[in-house]
Amino acid sequence: MTEEPDLVAAYGYPRAAWLRLNMVSSADGGAWLKGVSGGLSGSGDKRIFGLLRGLADVILAGAATVRVEGYGPVEPRESWRALRVGRSAAPPIAVVTRRLDLDLGGPLFADTDPAARTIVFTTEAAPKDRRREAARSAEVVVAGDERVDLARVTMELRARGLGRILCEGGPRLNAQLSAAGLVDELCLTVSPLLIGGDAARIFNGTAAQCALGLAHVLEEDGFLFCRYVREGA
C-alpha cells in the first residue's frame, strides 16, 4: 500500500444485510501461530482489522476463538465516530457456543456497555444454570436443540438491526457458515510467513464449494490484503 488507499471506501458494506469473514493466514495456509492468530499479523493487518470492526454492526465469533484469543468488549475508537453515527459507539460481540463453556465472569460479560451487550447464541442442551448465569449480563438466545442453527443466528441479528455481520472465526465456525450458504465475503490477510506445523486452515471442516470474485488486493510490507465476494452475492 505505497499510496494510502481510501480503506473506508474499499471495505464499505455493499448492503445492510451482509456477512463478512475476516481472517489472517500464513503464506502456507496456517490460521494461527503458537495457537493464536496475532502471531501472523502486522501493522497493516491491525489497521484493517480495526476498520472492519468499526464498520460492522456486530462481531460474530465462536466460543473457542473467544477463549483462546481472550475476547473482551470492543473498545470505541475516535476514528469510528463518523462511521457509527446512529449506532452504538462500538459493535457488540455475538458468541456461538453449544455448551456455554465460557468465562461468564470475564470482561466480555462483566465490562460491556449497556448499548452493546454481548449476545450469546446457544442450545437447549446447554446447562440451564449456565444459561441463567449468562443472562445476568448478556442477551442469551437459544438457537437450536443440540447445535446452534447459524441461519437462525443471522436472522436474529438482523431482527435486532445488526445486519452487517463481521465474523472473526474461528476456522470451524467459518466452515459451518459456509456449509449453510451464509458467507457473502472473505477478507483475507496473507502473512509473509511459512510456519508448517499443524495449524488449521481458515476453514476447518466441511464447507460448501463457492466461487468468489476478487474485489481487490492491497499490499504492505509483504502482507497481502485480499477481499473476495461470493459470486451472485
What CATH number should be reported for the domain holding residue 223? 3.40.430.10
CA distances for 227 relative to 19, 133, 136, 138, 196, angstroms: 13, 39, 38, 32, 25
In a domain, 176, yes or no: yes
In a domain, 3, yes or no: no
Q: Which domain holds residue 118?
A: 16-230
Written as one letter, the residue type at 75 is E
Q: What is the pLDDT along the chain (233 residues), one digit of tens a residue?
A: 456 899 999 999 999 999 999 999 999 999 988 878 888 999 999 999 999 999 999 999 999 999 999 999 999 999 999 999 999 999 999 999 999 999 999 999 999 999 999 999 999 999 999 999 999 999 999 999 999 999 999 999 999 999 999 999 999 999 999 999 999 999 999 999 999 988 999 999 988 899 999 999 999 999 999 999 999 88
Comparing C-alpha atoms, which of 28, 25, 24 is closest to residue 52? Answer: 24
In a domain, 9, yes or no: no
In this prediction the pTM is: 0.96
In a domain, 2, yes or no: no
In a domain, 147, yes or no: yes
In a domain, 7, yes or no: no
Determine the Cα–Cα distance for residues 172 and 174; give it in Å rounded to an integer.
Answer: 5
115 three-class SS = helix
When divided into structural domains, the chain yields a total of: 1
